[in-house]
Amino acid sequence: MKVLSINAGSSSLKFRLFMMPEEFVLCSGVFERIGLDNSFLTIIIDNEKKCKDIAVKCHEDVVNILIQELINFRVINNINEIEAIGHRVVHGGDKYSNAVVIDDNVLNNVMEISYLAPLHNPVNIIGIRAFNKVLPNVKAVAVFDTAFHQTMEETAYIYPVPYEWYKEYGVRKYGFHGTSHKYIARQISEILNNQNLKIISCHLGNGGSLCAIKNGVSVDTTMGFTPLAGIAMGTRAGDIDPSIIPFIMSQTGMNIEQILDVLNKKSGLLGISGISSDMRDIEEGIEKQNKRCKLAYSIYIRKIVSFISSYNTLLGGADVICFTAGIGENSIGVRKDIIDMLQPLGIYLDEEKNNIRGEQTLISNNNSKIKCYIIPTNEELMIAKETYELMM
């Protein structure tokens, strides 16, 4: 079965076509600058990258061009070969704990909870509708970033604020990166041949979150009502004292929208270092003895270690810690410094094994009480897997 994984943004659309259940990637790519000047397509087939300038005014144009390009490159012979489409949808609220086949009721529900993800859900719906219009006979599935975390108990997702805020306005922890954390849980369970593991999954990219997983389900996660909560990230502040917000408003005259923009886009590694949100730039700054880069890095590591320690206690002793996403998979130094700080828990690094980027491998030594792994994430494959499973 050929399954198309789709991640639609406001001005971009990422795609990957899989042969399932073999999990073979037939092609992948991205349309960028949709509706803007100088829009273009990057497509990868047989490990060969091709870039094309293509005028696309809307997502429906993207779908039509994508299908034609797949035929032109002989990835498919006709549209009937695409049997299912899996769409990433950011927010499912507390309505969806699993992927679902999309119908009008699902679309209405996703739109109703768009107030929880106003920058993402409406765009996800635009992408879904564009594919439905061009490929009306192809089954479509919604895979929600929040779904994996719906197994959390009330003690994990209810905030210590007036309970009416939850009942009347839906204020609770939802968590994000669920598709990635679910993929990691499945992968490490297969590697260790154990479906009852206690896992701490560390999705460390420009955005980042940790997840405590027990017997394959989410117990707790660091992101909350929005992706702004949790660890310090590339540009996001993570957890802070909320009283800072009205204080800075009174001192600067900024309004709430401006403050939230700063906390989401100008904080974290970027805000502290004053140089970059990219960990590679931070590490380069440290080599040049930049004090603010050192500070940003140290805060980042400390926040992650704090959550790992907390989740280890919550799980009653983790079996395995997994590092994934851009920083988790590729930063040798970040992994080393995190694990070195965890030595009081009996966690020890094998520095030779850790000297690797982007490959699935064990990086803890034989004396470590908790195994540590690099597990490259694959959210597109997880979307395809969940879509395929619903089709069978």
What 3-state class would DSSP assign to 382? helix
Cα gap 135→46, rounded to integer Å? 25
Please identify which of the residues 53, 61, 94, 145 carries the catalytic annotation: 145
- What token pair was written down for 125? 């719906």
Backbone angles phi, psi at 78, to 5 degrees: -160, 170
- Side-chain-facing half-sphere of 173: CA atoms under 13 Å: 27
- Side-chain-facing half-sphere of 4: CA atoms under 13 Å: 29
Give which of 146, 149, 182, 224 is closest to 324, Cα–Cα: 182
Beta bridge partners of 209: 203
Beta bridge partners of 378: none
| Token pair 């490259």: residue | 376
Beta bridge partners of 88: 143
37 has catalytic annotation: no
| Token pair 């020890």: residue | 348
Residue 164: DSSP 8-state: H
Omega prior to 136 cis, within 30 of 0: no
Give which of 58, 68, 21, 324 is closest to 177, Cα–Cα: 324
Tell me the chain's radius of gyration from C-alpha atoms. 21
Cα gap 77→204, rounded to integer Å? 39
Count of CB atoms situated within 10 Å of the CB of 217: 14
- What token pair was written down for 92? 């499912």
- What token pair was written down for 1? 């079965």
Enumerate the active-site residues: 145
